[in-house]
Amino acid sequence: MLPEYFEALNTDFRYQLTPIGRASQVLYIAEEIENNRFRIAGGRPGGKVSWQVTGIRQDAFANAHRIPVEVEKVGEERG
């Protein structure tokens, strides 16, 4: 279960799954985040999975102070 604030403060979720112990080609997200939970499926019975979920912050501070994705170079910086 994710922290109570996670879904409220983030959007556009990204999931990263890594099987532990041996490779698994059938590991996948069976259910996306809803009510601060998501479900992993596939893999082998009893297998371990390392997971990471990230999202784009959508709280008031983040929305007011977005980091520019790319800044145009000017003058001598170009080239």
For residue range 46-78, list pLDDT tens digits in order.
Answer: 899 999 999 999 999 999 999 888 888 888 888
The Cα 13–Cα 7 span in angstroms is 9
Over residues 39-51, the mean pLDDT reads 93
Q: What is the pLDDT of residue 69?
A: 85
Cα three-residue angle 75-76-79, rounded to 5 degrees: 100
- Would you say the C-alpha torsion 60, 62, 64, 69 has a positive or negative sign? negative
Mean pLDDT, the chain, integer: 93
The Cα 40–Cα 61 span in angstroms is 32
Phi and psi angles of residue 4, each rounded to the nearest 5 degrees, phi first: -55, -35
Is a pLDDT exceeding 90 seen at residue 32?
Answer: yes
Q: How far is CA 76 from CA 4, 15, 72, in A?
A: 48, 40, 12
Q: What is the pLDDT of residue 42?
A: 94
Is a pLDDT exceeding 90 seen at residue 25?
Answer: no
